[in-house]
A and B are shown apart, each in its own frame.
Chain A
Amino acid sequence: MAKIKYIEFSGKEHVVEVKTGMSVMEGAVKNLIPGIDADCGGACACATCHVYVDKAWLEKLEPMQEMEKTMLDFAEGLESNSRLSCQIKVSDALDGLVVRTPKSQH
């Protein structure tokens, strides 16, 4: 279980508890947080669950797999802290994680 803070492009914040084993994307969908569409449902096939991870958290995440890296490379508004939220698995270690959603997904 981890408390995750999602910040919408507008600045609106949502803090929710997400179960271990779920993805950061699923945490958003389950809690009705706008800005994370996840059309493909987490198959790493659509790049519509793009988030910016708070810099302090970046290296605490599991490193990206090749597929995520290359999908992101073509996402709108790519930054050095971009991730696909469907590929970030939630664990206790992520308690306090902060992610922001990009403008293009609103």
Chain B
Amino acid sequence: MSESVVIVGAGQAAAQTVASLRAEGFAGAITVIGDEPYLPYQRPPLSKAYLAGELALDRLFIKPREFYDDAKCTLILDTTVTRIDRELHRVETHDNRSIAYDALVLATGSRVRHLTTNGEDLPGVRYLRGIADVEAMQSYLKPGVKLVIIGAGYIGLEVAAVAKKRGLTVTVLEMAPRVMARTVSEQLSAFYEAEHRKAGVVIHTGTRVDKIGVVDGTSFVVETSAGRVPADIVIAGVGILPNMELAEAAGLKVANGIVVDEFTRTSDPKIYAVGDCADLPCAHSVTNRARLESVQNAIDQAKHAAAAICGKPKPYTEVPWFWSDQYDLKLQIAGLSGPQDQLVLRGDPAARSFAVFRLRAAAIVAVEAVNAAPEYMMGRRLIAARAKVAPERLADRAVPMKEMGG
């Protein structure tokens, strides 16, 4: 058994790794090294309640400081790990500290993808990943401010919903022909587009951003294939990139993230990778591998890493799940979509409570539920069981979800 575990990154996955190591009975030393100045915190509220100003900073923290003290976990914050020495089993930090490990957990997360033209960052564009990003946006969140959002993914649309509530003029620009195109069905895209328009958000899909002109340092003109849009602030949510360079430089296998097996082990048996940074085997994905950008995955992979470090490895088979809050709509998704899925609609979008089920080879593989908890909760179970339910039955709301099993 390992004597000392070092965790790189102090986010969602790191906090869970600490909790699960102690829950599994690990008695050795635990050190967490993170480059942000904060205790590990939850990111989901950053584009929801925290952005809306409805949540105080300390309510973002996953655990209070006493938790780490109690767990005898050394937290080294504001510190970047710059190198892994796999021969000596040590990590080095930017301020020349060197810390030894018996087991190393990489929980480095991801960073936002930047918008560039000819390799240069577009001027004036802000991104949303951490607390500091939200703080820098707060002063703009007031009535009349012109906000342009580039990218109609979850984060872009959540920001749009919050900004609209706070009285801003909001325009969303999306390159794809529909919103949230990467992750949800056309039915959901159409529904969400209509909801945002109803709230007063202007959405241009199929629209390319060419250039951003700086008017006077405090205002901008976004030049797009659909015309020019003036902006006081531009926020982009155009995807993330896994933080895998540290692993790559150490010679670990990387692909669409740090490559791990079903026990979260990298190509070095002493090193594990969990959360947004990991490229993992995933039977729910049509390609059998995935990189999952979600709280669920950060938590569940962390549990598996802790179990493996404690000599109790179990394969990761969890059904992926995710949520998004926009206006009074709760979107809950379980499973992963594929391009050939058969889609089954249950409920009526006009009633603002419905779900789209995805079937592959007749088995339920995913559910996208809008204000529809029974469909989501039962859907998770059906996906885990790879259950086959006749589409007509699934579509029939007269048959309660509880009766869909077996």
Chain A residues in the interface with B (C-beta under 8 A): 22, 26, 29-30, 32, 39-41, 43-47, 67, 70-71, 73-74
For B67, B70, B299, B373, which residue has the most chain A Cβ atoms within 10 angstroms? B373
Are B378 and A74 in contact, with the CB atoms below 8 A? yes
A-B contact pairs, 21 of them (CB 8 A): A22-B59, A26-B59, A30-B64, A32-B63, A32-B64, A32-B70, A39-B295, A40-B323, A41-B295, A43-B330, A45-B321, A45-B330, A45-B332, A46-B296, A67-B371, A70-B374, A71-B373, A71-B377, A73-B377, A74-B378, A74-B402
Whether the Cβ atoms of A67 and B330 lie closer than 8 Å is yes
Q: Of the candidates B45, B296, B374, which one forms a contact with A73 in the assembled complex, judged by CB atoms under 8 Å apart?
A: B374
Please tell me if the beta carbons of B373 and A32 are within 8 angstroms of each other in the complex: no
Max chain B C-beta neighbours (<10 A), residue from A32, A43, A67, A71 = A43
Within 8 Å by CB of B330, from A44, A47, A74, lies A44
Q: Which residue of B lies closest to A73 (CB)?
A: B374
Q: Does B368 contact A (CB under 8 A)?
A: no
CB of B87 within 8 A of chain A? Answer: no
Residues of chain B lying within 8 A (CB to CB) of residue A74: 373-374, 377-378, 381, 402
A37 and chain B: residue at smallest CB distance: B299
Chain A nearest CB, measured from B134 CB (Å): 16
**Minimum CB–CB distance for B30 against chain A, Å:** 16
Cα A46 to Cα B319 with chains together (Å): 12
Any chain A CB within 8 A of the CB of B95?
no
Of the four ranges (under 10, 10 to 19, 20 to 34, 35 or more), the interface on chain B belongs to 20 to 34
Judged by DSSP, the binding face of B is helix
CB contact between A43 and one of B66, B67, B323, B377 (< 8 Å): that residue: B323
Is A47 a contact partner of B64 (Cβ separation < 8 A)? no
Which residues of chain B from 124 to 156 have a CB within 8 Å of any chain A CB?
Answer: none
Q: Are A32 and B295 in contact (CB under 8 A)?
A: no
- Which residues from chain A contact B321 at a C-beta distance below 8 Å? 45-46
CA A26 to CA B59, docked complex, whole Å: 8
What's the nearest-Cβ distance from chain A to residue B54, in Å? 10
- Among A22, A29, A32, A70, the residue within 8 A (CB) of B377 is A70
Closest 4 CB pairs of A and B: A74-B377, A70-B373, A45-B323, A41-B42
Chain A residues whose C-beta falls within 8 Å of the C-beta of B402 in the assembled complex: 73-74
Q: How far is the CA of A32 from the CA of B18 in the complex (A)?
A: 13
Cα A29 to Cα B374 in complex, Å, equals 27
CB nearest to B380 among chain A residues: A74
Is B213 an interface residue when CB atoms closer than 8 A count as contact? no
Q: Smallest CB–CB gap between B406 and chain A, Å?
A: 16
- The answer to the question of B325 belonging to the interface, with a C-beta cut-off of 8 Å to chain A, is yes
In the bound complex, CA of A40 to CA of B323 (Å): 9
CB distance from A61 to the nearest CB of B (A): 19
**Would you give the shortest CB distance from B306 to chain A, in whole angstroms?**
14
Which residues of B have CB within 8 Å of A73?
Answer: 373-374, 377, 402
Q: Which B residue's beta carbon lies closest to that of A75?
A: B377
A19, B295: Cα distance in complex, Å: 26
Q: Which residues of B contact A32 (CB under 8 A)?
A: 63-64, 66-67, 70
Alpha-carbon gap, A30 to B65, bound state (A): 9
Residues of A within 8 A of B378 (CB): 74
Extra contacts, 11 of them, besides A29-B62, A73-B402 (Cβ < 8 A), are A32-B64, A39-B299, A40-B323, A41-B44, A46-B321, A70-B373, A70-B374, A71-B373, A73-B374, A74-B373, A74-B381
Bound Cα distance from A67 to B371, whole angstroms? 7
Q: What B residues does A40 contact at CB under 8 A?
A: 44, 295, 323
Bound CA–CA A74/B369 (angstroms): 15
A29 CA to B16 CA, complexed, in Å: 13
Bound-state Cα–Cα, A13 to B171, Å: 52
Looking at B321, B371, B377, B402, the one whose CB has the most chain A CB atoms below 10 A away is B377
> Chain B: which residue is nearest A38 at the CB level?
B62
Q: How far is the CA of A10 from the CA of B296 in the complex (A)?
A: 27
Chain B residues within an 8 Å CB radius of A47: 377
Interface residues in B351-389 (C-beta closer than 8 Å to A):
371, 373-374, 377-378, 381
Q: Note all chain A residues with C-beta closer than 8 A to B296.
A: 39, 46
